[in-house]
Amino acid sequence: MDSINNNLKQQVELICMDCEYIGKVKLNYDFYNGCDCYSDGDIEDEMLDIVKSNKNYESILSSDETRWPILYHFSPFRVNIIEWYPFEKDANILEIGSDCGAVTKALCQNTFVTCIELSKKRSLINAYRNKDIDNIEIIVGNFNDIKIDNKFDAVTLIGVLEYAKMYTNSANPYIDFLKYIKSFLKDNGKLIIAIENKFGLKYWAGAGEDHTNIVFESIEGYNNNQNVRTFSKMELKDMLKEAGYSNQKFYYPYPDYKLPQIIFSDNILPKINELNINNFNYDNERITLFDEQSVYNELIKNKTFDFFSNSFLVIAS
């Protein structure tokens, strides 16, 4: 009897050796190669300490904190990008690029969320900040290497599509990445994308490109960078159509998708003088070539706001 119990114990240990639980959150390391290839650096150790010690995020943000990783990962505005979306109860959601979990909690209200994240440290931050929630599994590794049998009601790419070329070995990495994701969607499933607009007004006004901090980088076609790409509305529509997503609905997070305070749509567009949260660039210094609110007013009058929106949120199926 003892030998049977010992064998069972050994089997359980073998099953669990590639996973870990933080509270109720399961971390799956089956596809983790040991490399945290995407990181904000040593500040992530501080962020992990913050969530482990249950510090109040709002008190940290209301202090003199100015470091972009802290502001970005802990800002309460992050959830605005998706918290409003009416997911069906008990929906199955795949969050690709779950980062440090800023959006995960908003996704897992009455749903089950499978997170995929390259970085073990970021996954631990996510797990600790959501440790009391029992409907989250975090798989650590490159999405393209991970084997998942499930089909999902929704797949989210929030700040992810622009990096597809770095992790997809293909002649057409962005389209092939979108095609691959389609295989994980149920027949009526939704793909949800949040991404910067390469022609966002702030870039014309002097802000550096969000990923490279090079002024006019995206407007000029990324001549100096081959790894990161954002897209115009037309380019996104064409890519999605080619990848098999014929139904598309565009939304316009303002001032951008990272810290959105208002989300417009083609049915509800901004009014004159409504776009007055400009001249910001939390992660880098910037120059200012013109008054963005005045230019926005002219774009609104001429019905071209959607072309110059700083970010897009796209629901596609």
pLDDT digit string (tens) for 238-252?
Answer: 999 999 999 999 999
Supply the pLDDT for residue 127.
97
Give the least confident one: 26-30, 159-163, 280-284: 280-284
CATH number at residue 287: 3.40.50.150
Is 13 within the bounds of a domain?
no
Is 147 within the bounds of a domain?
yes
- Rounded Cα gap, residues 83 and 104, in angstroms: 10
Q: How confident is the model at residue 100 (pLDDT cuts 50, 70, 90)?
A: very high
Three-state helix/strand/coil letters over 85-141 = CCCCCCCEEEEECCCCCCCHHHHCCCCEEEEEECCHHHHHHHHHHCCCCCCEEEEEC
Supply the pLDDT for residue 283.
62
Is 219 within the bounds of a domain?
yes
CA distances from residue 132 to 16, 45, 108 in whole angstroms, order as listed? 20, 21, 12
Give the least confident one: 16-20, 238-242, 272-276: 16-20
Is 254 within the bounds of a domain?
yes
Is 133 within the bounds of a domain?
yes
- Rounded Cα gap, residues 246 and 230, in angstroms: 20
Is 244 within the bounds of a domain?
yes
* Tokens read off for 77: 């505005």
Q: How confident is the model at residue 282 (pLDDT cuts 50, 70, 90)?
A: low
* Tokens read off for 65: 């904190």
What is the count of structural domains for the chain? 1
- Rounded Cα gap, residues 17 and 224, in angstroms: 44
Supply the pLDDT for residue 4.
44
- Rounded Cα gap, residues 230 and 22, in angstroms: 35
Phi/psi at 112 (5° precision): -110, 130
- Rounded Cα gap, residues 99 and 104, in angstroms: 9
46: domain range? 21-316
Q: How confident is the model at residue 12 (pLDDT cuts 50, 70, 90)?
A: very low
CA distances from residue 64 to 43, 45, 306 in whole angstroms, order as listed? 16, 20, 35
Q: Considering the chain, what percentage of its residues have pLDDT values greater than 90? A: 74
Q: What would the mean pLDDT of 173-191 be, rounded to a whole number?
A: 96
**pLDDT top residue among 183 and 3:** 183
Is 206 within the bounds of a domain?
yes
pLDDT at residue 306 greater than cutoff 50: yes
pLDDT at residue 111 greater than cutoff 60: yes
Is 296 within the bounds of a domain?
yes
Supply the pLDDT for residue 7.
47
pLDDT at residue 10 greater than cutoff 50: no
pLDDT at residue 74 greater than cutoff 60: yes
Contacts of 144 (CB under 8 A, 6+ apart): 167, 168, 177, 180
